[in-house]
Structure 1
Amino acid sequence: MMDLGRANKILGMQIHRDRNNLKIWFYQKNYLKKILRRFNMHDCKSISTPLPVNFKLSSSMCPGNEVERKQMSRVPESSQSIHGESWWRALDSCKEDFEIYQRTSDVTLCYGGLEFTVRGYVDSDFVGDLDKMKSTTGYVFILAEAAVSWVLKLQTIVALSTTEVKYMAVTQACKEAIWIQWLLEELGHQQGKLFVFCDSQSALHIARNPAFYSRTKHIGVQYHFVREVVEDGSVDLQKIHTNENLADVLTKPINADKFIWSRSSCGLSKT
């Protein structure tokens, strides 16, 4: 092995340090500019959010007749995986994605300060996937004033209610919380009780009350893992208002003010 000195770049991310103030920044300005140039979007305007509020896509938007298929045949070959005109319009409005890149190319992820306690935030949508009728779990964990772990993924089963969706999302977040706790302990940082915040009072009630049987008997056993970690004190589940839930940004399109607040609360700020 060779010691190449202090790292200034890793996996496309540039690194800047301020050891006196105990801060470190990660950013991808050069990479984002490269992507914008690749798709000829380097002169595009900038926008504040990726998608309009309540925006959803489904396979029903795929071409339904020969005329629509011919229209889609004119879409550049590298974008043929976008299934239909509505999807292409979404991607076109999603030039918005590139326009977000343009606006946020100088945004950095900053870790720092003396606060070294993990906080988790979890959220979910309900039947966000209109094709498979499945919902989405999103969670983010904050350490040293910035995000260290985040997930956005489709749940594996179809839930019957918003409470069930939230409960399953909380379970997945608690699994991640325990893993982070183990990792930090391996690195010599004892965490004690971890806090996970959720905006569903009913999901928290199920997690805290094993006797709440009639509402939970159809939920898979693996999702009741959360009850064990709450009972033994490893995780402290707390109610949080939706407006203060950082994970909202992962599960649904939100307005510009909430988007910017969520981004800042996850440690992302302009240089």
Structure 2
Amino acid sequence: MAVLELKGLGVVSKFLGIGFEYDKDKGWLLEQRQVILGMLDKFGLSEVSAVRVPIGGELENDVDGELLPNDGAGSPQRPTVKTFQSLVGSLLWIARCTRPDIAYAVHRVTRRTHEPRVSDWRLAKKIARYLKGTVDTKFAMHAPRGGMSEDTIVVEGYSDADFAGDRVDRKSVSGGVLMVCGMVVGWICKKQSSVALSTMEAEFVADSQVTAEMLGIVELLSEIGIKVKVPYKLHVDTSRR
């Protein structure tokens, strides 16, 4: 067995572009201010006006819209496929790490990264403009008062789905939030791989996807020596069934 030597560097303040701050009342606060500002500067969006929402009237699929050119690296003034893919890559990283509020919008804009339209570029810029207006937003992670033990750790999941939301292939989109002891530790937003024939079927697929994520969290806790003894909880949306 290999032995690795570790060196303590104190309380973390930054890791992979994510800023960490600890507040005894709010817990850990995570932010990506510098990453967002760097992205805005890279794509010539530093001076654009902010918007209040990341997505709105762009929900219709513009299947016949103008394609972005595929020649060269491009620029913010003359975007190409590579320019679009680079911006979307930055948005994906931000959405995955600290910003669940843009998860659905980023999911929408990544559907056609292989042949994006001008409308996709506009949506990507709108998400970036939303991030500009919320650049100081922080993601809070706070453990329950009194700490956690194997007897009290609760793994929960919340799931939901639309029905045939994609007007091209009529596939539904699953969404979910993962929590440990009331603390959000993960989220998902993904298109389902098959066409659901009812809202109930779409919801069941979303439920199974969130359950799989919950089991992954339980396995991770087990690997670091924490056994979850309390039954897992899955909260589903049944209002349309």
- TM-score norm. by structure 1 comes to 0.61
Match of 2:93 in 1: none
Matched residue type, 1:169: A
Matched residue type, 2:79: P
What is the RMSD of the two structures over their aligned residues, measured on CA atoms? 3.1
Measured in 1, the distance between the counterparts of 2:58 and 2:79 equals 28
SS at match of 1:95: helix
Which entry has the higher C-alpha Rg, 1 or 2?
A: 1
Matched residue type, 1:173: V
Asked whether the equivalents of residues 58 and 123 of structure 2 are also in contact (C-alpha less than 8 Å), the reply is: no
Match of 1:59 in 2: 63
SS at match of 1:159: coil
1:101 aligned onto 2:131:
yes
- TM-score norm. by structure 2 comes to 0.67
- Aligned-pair CA distance for 1:181: 2.7
Match of 2:16 in 1: 11
1:133 aligned onto 2:170:
yes
Asked whether the equivalents of residues 154 and 228 of structure 2 are also in contact (C-alpha less than 8 Å), the reply is: no
Match of 1:46 in 2: 50
State the Cα deviation string for residues 143-198 of structure 1 (Å, max 9, x = none): 35442121112212122112111111111112222332333344425351222211
Matched residue type, 2:230: G
Matched residue type, 1:118: V
Measured in 1, the distance between the counterparts of 2:217 and 2:7 equals 28
- Aligned-pair CA distance for 1:141: 0.8
SS at match of 1:61: coil
Asked whether the equivalents of residues 123 and 139 of structure 1 are also in contact (C-alpha less than 8 Å), the reply is: yes
- Aligned-pair CA distance for 1:59: 2.5
Asked whether the equivalents of residues 199 and 240 of structure 2 are also in contact (C-alpha less than 8 Å), the reply is: no
- Aligned-pair CA distance for 1:45: 1.7
- How many aligned positions are there? 193
Matched residue type, 1:30: Q
Match of 2:220 in 1: 183
Asked whether the equivalents of residues 14 and 26 of structure 1 are also in contact (C-alpha less than 8 Å), the reply is: yes
Measured in 1, the distance between the counterparts of 2:16 and 2:187 equals 18
- Aligned-pair CA distance for 1:31: 0.7
1:88 aligned onto 2:118:
yes
Match of 2:233 in 1: 195
Asked whether the equivalents of residues 22 and 113 of structure 1 are also in contact (C-alpha less than 8 Å), the reply is: no
Match of 1:169 in 2: 206
SS at match of 2:216: helix
Q: Which has the higher contact order (CA 8 A, sep 6+)?
A: 1
SS at match of 1:149: strand
- Aligned-pair CA distance for 1:22: 7.5
Q: 1:36 to 1:123 in 2, by over 3 A?
A: same
Q: 1:202 to 1:96 in 2, by over 3 A?
A: closer
State the Cα deviation string for residues 183-219 of structure 1 (Å, max 9, x = none): 334442535122221112576xxxxxxxxxxxxxxxx
Which runs of 5 or more residues in structure 1 are unaligned? Answer: 204-271
SS at match of 2:38: helix
Matched residue type, 1:25: L
Match of 1:76 in 2: 79
